Structure 1
Amino acid sequence: MRGPDAYPTVSGVAAAARILSMRHPDLCRMRLAGESRAGRPLWLLSVGHGRRRILVVAGPHPDEQAGGATALWLAEQAVHERRRFAEADVTWDFLLCLDPDGTVLNENGPAGERPPAVHFRHTFRPHAAEQPEWAASLRTPREELPETIALLAIIDELRPVLQCSLHGTDVGGSWVQLTADIPGLAEPFGKYAAELDVPVQTGTFDALFWQGAGPGVFVLPPRGEQERFGSEPEAADGSTWSRPHLYGGLTALVEVPMWATRKVADPTPHPDPAHAVTVLGARLRKDGAAAAVSLERALPLLQQAGPTAGPVMRGIEQAVGAFPGLADEFERLATQSPVPLTMAHIAALDIAARRIPLRAAGMLLRLLDEARLDEDPSSEPARLRSRLERRIDAGARDLITTTDARWVPIPDQIELQARTVLAAVGLVM
């Protein structure tokens, strides 16, 4: 089964799921599981009638757009293999988009293959406290996001044996994060990645402190042990990822790249990791200072920004505020790394150090566009916009050139993510 050549929209995914339900009313059903902060529906599609539930969550991060199509791919597969899943007493449940408000903000860019600069030009990455999966670890119960409340309610109702969260990365490889081990998953995952020519990422920024369970498969450390950089406030233990553990289940996060680079798959020990991370830390400080200056210059100009200004601005402010602490963390790795740093680790850290300023510049440029400011080339808004555009063009070009990355066809992104989910399901059934 091949996926589409473009990322489907939030409404497009819901429409396709509704058609599937109408075609197979004996097997499929859709219901409203909640509403977003802006009142958009959170749709849950269920396929099957078994007692063992598999929950698939698409759209947890709005700039990771393959998940909606992957959910449809898996739903159609569940219909096609209805007998096998019925014999296994399994029902599939698909939350079609966890953050529709944020995902819609990413839909103003091209839906298919795009130049890297165009991608970052249209990216929206919310503040961590406004990301529904992470928000549960950062907010009190009274402050929970409605999307988080809806997902937690679904988990409490269904008690899934496995929750699969569909994530993605802009540049890198594919990897899996598990809140508890699924023995044997690394083998089929590696096989599928090889067949689709997608590198298995053996060193990651996200899972640097997680335990390896085979190439590209990482398991959450035991409670109380460090799981993320200290400057990052969110914690997996308090997130929606951990909720299935109350009922004997676990969560698998499946990451697939838009642009793939083999540098993140190189397990060779780095010849001088201390120097490498020190250089990366210095670059983070430099880029962070430039981003802070741009933000300071933009603030007086953004009084007339559009209705999305609030969440976008909070995303920018978190990104800009993260630079100093993250630079400290990178430099600390020179003497206190949790693992021996390989070429893959340094490549992943390098990508992260380049990605954050690109996201900040892209979101700030979005707000300047929405504010409909003076177009006179000599005006302050025009000069700032031009500066940000040059920064995105040069930074995105350097990111792709330095990593020798290539675009991964969207059908391959979807197929790898879906087949990895199926492998995980097969191992827990």
Structure 2
Amino acid sequence: MTIDERLSRVPTFSQFYGTDELYDHAKRVAEANPDICSLTYVGQSKNGEKIPMVRVGNGPTSILLFASPHPNEPIGAMMAYFLLDELVACPEMRGGRTWNIIPCVDPDGTRRNEGWFKGPYTLKNYARHFYRPKGDDQVEWTFPVEYKTFKFDKPIPETKALMKAIDMTRPAVMYSLHNSGFGGAYYYISRPLEAAYPDFHRLPTERGLSLSLGEPESPYCKELYPAVYATNFASDAYDYFEKFGTGDPASYMFGGGSSRDYAETVSKPFTLIAEVPYFKTARIADTSLVGKKRGTVVLDGLERSRTLLSFAKKIVDDTLALLTEEPVLRDASASFIGQMLNRMEGEKAWAMSKEIMEQEATVAQEAHALYITPFYQGIIISMYRRALKAQLAKEYNPVIEEAYKTLDSKIDAMMDDIGKALDYGIVAIRDLVQIQYGALLAVLNGLGL
């Protein structure tokens, strides 16, 4: 079958599945097909929930996929759900390959996001139920690593489970199933693979999703091709902070190494990440010029972000000691707010560098700086809103009530403004699964696997 023929087999999904549905399905598939499937538990979560991995086939090429490395990113879990069924139904997909699939590597965090999984799919509802762990609680970013003055050696239980899976499978291809929230499609790969680029571009655009041609997710991302970047190591972040920050670069780091950092020491796999969003805007692919310098646009965005984050930090400073409910939400939001403010001077220095300041800015870059980045900051701040609400549900406190009302109004108005400015739309779950699945098939074809 061609890639498109395989993509046509992806069913329509009306909602994202929660942890129970993902784990129950994995168990059913493995138990119903013992001749080609086996289920093992690679570890457990902080709350003691076992993390399953299903192995399908027994070929020489090992492929590892793990879903929900960030628990607010369930698109890959839907792809893994479909792929388990597809591998059973299609013997040719198993030929020469051993597939290893973790349907959800962060069950605890995923459960904290399930409030938005069934919709409505709006910016405000997503923000209201959003959860993302703080840096040293993230599965993807707590692998052991040591580089110059930076050392991290405290992997969380879920990361230990993923380390075990990498050690067991020694993958030739590793697919960390992340996704973005708002904007367009972009990719990370561990090394150039020109044969896959045409598919990387056509898969989203044929489904009405623009490529993300604005600013990269991080200033130190290396672009291999438009909307295709080299997968970062922790050392890349350190080197950037060393160049543009002040003091010890390690002070700007959060968490530890990534799955690629660790896998590189085990089997040096080809790694893939396909970042596709729930919410789309055509402006993120508009490369027409806006009549401003890129550095000026970035600085305008930084000032907007500084105002927002400083507003949020004032609320955190005034109420943090009063919050006893939902400490996970409270601490994650407070931690991110502080880190983002701490990094701003380095981002300002980068924006004012000659290379950036002299470039002409595009519509896509302006949309990213003025709206996409504040969107991501807004959903981080919204976790603190959830913590305030939980505290009010336990006991009345006028200080908490005022803080909640202020933050609630601010975030809802902000999401309305961003939505109107970017004229956003919703991407069908089937389209998102097809893009992530198609990207994997393009990589396997490009590698001759």
Mapping of residues 226-241 of structure 1, within 5 Å = 230=241, 233-234=253-254, 238-241=257-260
Mapping of residues 136-215 of structure 1, within 5 Å = 136=143, 143-215=154-226
Query: What's the counterpart of residue 299 of structure 1?
Result: 320
Mapping of residues 25-424 of structure 1, within 5 Å = 25-86=34-95, 89-136=96-143, 143-220=154-231, 230=241, 233-234=253-254, 238-246=257-265, 247-272=267-292, 273-303=294-324, 305=325, 309-336=326-353, 340=359, 342-373=362-393, 379-424=398-443
- Give the unaligned 5+ runs of structure 1: none
User: How does the TM-score come out when normalised to structure 2?
Assistant: 0.86
Shift of 1:391: 1.0
Task: Supply the AA of the counterpart residue of 1:298.
Answer: T
Shift of 1:5: 1.1
Query: What's the counterpart of residue 249 of structure 2?
Result: none
Shift of 1:342: 3.8
Shift of 1:130: 0.9
Q: What SS does structure 1 have at the residue aligned with 2:62?
A: strand
What is the CA–CA distance in structure 2 between the aligned matches of 1:264 and 1:271, rounded to whole Å?
Answer: 17
Q: What SS does structure 1 have at the residue aligned with 2:194?
A: coil
Shift of 1:94: 0.7
CA contact (8 A) 2:46 2:157 kept: yes
Count of paired positions: 421
What is the CA–CA distance in structure 1 between the aligned matches of 2:144 and 2:135, rounded to whole Å?
Answer: 10
- Give the unaligned 5+ runs of structure 2: 1-9, 246-251
Query: What's the counterpart of residue 10 of structure 1?
Result: 19
Task: Supply the AA of the counterpart residue of 2:35.
Answer: D
CA contact (8 A) 1:75 1:92 kept: no
CA separation of 1:349 and 1:40: change in aligned 2, threshold 3 A: farther
Shift of 1:253: 1.0
Deviations 1:341-374 (A, max 9, x none): 5432332233443124412332112112222358
Deviations 1:106-128 (A, max 9, x none): 11335234221111011111111
What is the CA–CA distance in structure 2 between the aligned matches of 1:399 and 1:153, rounded to whole Å?
Answer: 42
Query: What's the counterpart of residue 427 of structure 1?
Result: 446
CA contact (8 A) 1:277 1:333 kept: no
CA separation of 1:166 and 1:297: change in aligned 2, threshold 3 A: same
Deviations 1:140-180 (A, max 9, x none): 67522111111112112211111101111221111111122
Shift of 1:295: 0.9
What is the CA–CA distance in structure 1 between the aligned matches of 2:416 and 2:145, rounded to whole Å?
Answer: 35
Q: What SS does structure 1 have at the residue aligned with 2:383?
A: helix
Query: What's the counterpart of residue 6 of structure 2?
Result: none
CA separation of 1:227 and 1:407: change in aligned 2, threshold 3 A: farther
What is the CA–CA distance in structure 1 between the aligned matches of 2:187 and 2:412, rounded to whole Å?
Answer: 31
Shift of 1:37: 1.1
What is the CA–CA distance in structure 2 between the aligned matches of 1:338 and 1:133, rounded to whole Å?
Answer: 31
Deviates more, 1:321-330 or 1:17-26: 321-330
Task: Supply the AA of the counterpart residue of 1:405.
Answer: Y
User: How does the TM-score come out when normalised to structure 1?
Assistant: 0.90
Task: Supply the AA of the counterpart residue of 2:353.
Answer: Q
Deviations 1:236-272 (A, max 9, x none): 9x32123333323121111110101122222345531
CA contact (8 A) 2:143 2:153 kept: no
CA separation of 1:375 and 1:146: change in aligned 2, threshold 3 A: closer
CA contact (8 A) 1:53 1:91 kept: yes
Shift of 1:229: 5.6
Q: What SS does structure 1 have at the residue aligned with 2:181?
A: strand
What is the CA–CA distance in structure 2 between the aligned matches of 1:334 and 1:30, rounded to whole Å?
Answer: 49
What is the CA–CA distance in structure 1 between the aligned matches of 2:343 and 2:418, rounded to whole Å?
Answer: 19
Q: What SS does structure 2 have at the residue aligned with 1:199?
A: coil
What is the CA–CA distance in structure 1 between the aligned matches of 2:62 and 2:108, rounded to whole Å?
Answer: 27
What is the CA–CA distance in structure 2 between the aligned matches of 1:348 and 1:22, rounded to whole Å?
Answer: 46
What is the CA–CA distance in structure 2 between the aligned matches of 1:9 and 1:287, rounded to whole Å?
Answer: 32
CA contact (8 A) 1:61 1:99 kept: yes
What is the CA–CA distance in structure 1 between the aligned matches of 2:392 and 2:333, rounded to whole Å?
Answer: 19
What is the CA–CA distance in structure 2 between the aligned matches of 1:338 and 1:226, rounded to whole Å?
Answer: 19
CA contact (8 A) 1:133 1:240 kept: yes
CA separation of 1:329 and 1:280: change in aligned 2, threshold 3 A: farther
What is the CA–CA distance in structure 2 between the aligned matches of 1:250 and 1:409, rounded to whole Å?
Answer: 28
Please list every run of at least 4 consecutive aligned residues from structure 1 whose deviation after the TM superposition is greater than 4 angstroms.
137-142, 221-229, 337-341, 373-376
